[in-house]
């Protein structure tokens, strides 16, 4: 029976690696624009799903390239980009990258008092599990962030019945430390991946001498956090002014899938 229990536990979840990274328009702390360097940092972490913030597309200041597409191509992934700012042909915003099948659900603006902010929501098929992932970059003002989190937790985003029907991840640069009211508000709805037993929270900003934990990955209660890591390699410290946050998760399999796999394994004993 112990062997059967081990098989059941093993097959009750599916592992996935999530990475959130503010790439600062691919401008490093050495002031060099280098999307390839960003891709190299990401590739070393081997994530399955990536949320990028501060991505330039067609902007003169960074060479006019589509940074989301360039990074995705180097990683052999697909990209989905939402421009929170759109000035003529120049765009700036957030992107989702993955090699898993993706269904775009929603991309749109958030209430903003300063620079316009937004979010992108996709449903990602992780081996038969529909995982709802929202990537965002919140504003600089406390009142602005409060309005943005209220919107994200509301019926158009995380509170939407479609999102509520599956496991959920909210990640990005929140510009909010753990003592802030915005962080606490999100923490009442979702669990902070870095605040789990056995996990040691690490700061993500600034990259050279990280002091503040501004970048977060929040997950729904059915998801088990296996490990978290703030990537602090010499290249990561140089590639952007933020460090990437990597989270390894176990997603619960739907009951039908779990029972079918476990039953197959037990019949082979």
Percent of the chain with pLDDT over 70: 90
**pLDDT tens profile 33-45:** 999 999 999 999 9
Nearest to 166 by CA among 220, 96, 122, 99: 220
Residue 72's contacts (CB-CB under 8 Å, 6 or more residues apart) are 78, 79, 95, 97
d(CA 23, CA 104): 22
- pLDDT in the model for residue 190: 98
Other CB atoms within 10 A of residue 240 CB: 27
DSSP 3-state of 59: coil
Residue 241 has pLDDT above 80, yes or no: yes
HSE toward the beta carbon, residue 41, CA cutoff 13 A:
31
DSSP state of 235: H
- pLDDT in the model for residue 263: 45
Mean local confidence (pLDDT), 47-54: 98
- State the residue range of the domain holding 36: 2-267
Residue 269 has pLDDT above 60, yes or no: no
- pLDDT in the model for residue 11: 57
Q: Pull the structure tokens for residue 237.
A: 């410290």
In the β-sheet with 78-87, what is the strand arrangement from edge to edge?
A: 78-87, 90-98, 49-57, 13-22, 245-252, 224-230
- pLDDT in the model for residue 261: 52
Q: Looking at the 3D structure of the chain, how many domains does it have? A: 1
The pTM of the full predicted model, rounded to 2 decimals, is 0.91
Mean pLDDT of the chain: 92
Residue 4's contacts (CB-CB under 8 Å, 6 or more residues apart) are 266, 269
Specify the higher pLDDT residue, 262 or 98.
98
Domain of 112, CATH number, reads: 3.60.10.10
- pLDDT in the model for residue 254: 82
**pLDDT tens profile 132-151:** 999 999 999 999 999 999 99
Cis peptide before 44 (omega within 30 of 0): no
């Amino acid at each position: 029976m112990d062997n059967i229990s081990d098989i059941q536990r093993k097959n009750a979840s599916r592992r996935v690696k999530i990475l959130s990274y503010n790439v600062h328009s691919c401008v490093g702390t050495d002031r060099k624009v280098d999307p390839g360097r960003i891709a190299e940092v990401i590739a070393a972490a081997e994530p399955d799903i990536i949320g990028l913030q501060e991505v330039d597309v067609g902007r003169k200041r960074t060479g006019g390239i589509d940074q989301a597409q360039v990074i995705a191509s180097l990683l052999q992934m697909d990209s989905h980009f939402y421009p929170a700012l759109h000035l003529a042909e120049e765009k700036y915003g957030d992107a989702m990258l993955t090699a898993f099948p993706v269904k775009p659900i929603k991309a749109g603006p958030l209430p903003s008092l300063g620079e316009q902010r937004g979010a992108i929501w996709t449903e990602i098929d992780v081996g038969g599990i529909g995982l709802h992932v929202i990537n965002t970059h919140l504003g600089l003002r406390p009142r602005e962030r409060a309005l943005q989190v209220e919107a994200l937790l509301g019926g158009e985003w995380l509170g939407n019945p479609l999102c509520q029907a599956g496991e959920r991840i909210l990640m990005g640069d929140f510009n909010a430390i753990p003592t802030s009211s915005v962080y606490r508000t999100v923490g009442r709805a979702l669990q902070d991946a870095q605040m789990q037993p056995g996990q040691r929270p690490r700061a993500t900003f600034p990259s050279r001498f990280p002091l503040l934990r501004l970048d977060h990955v929040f997950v729904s209660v059915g998801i088990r956090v296996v490990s978290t890591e703030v990537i602090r390699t010499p290249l990561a410290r140089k590639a952007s002014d933020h460090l990437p946050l990597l989270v390894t998760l176990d997603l619960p399999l739907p009951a039908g899938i779990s029972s079918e796999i476990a039953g197959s394994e037990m019949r082979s004993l």
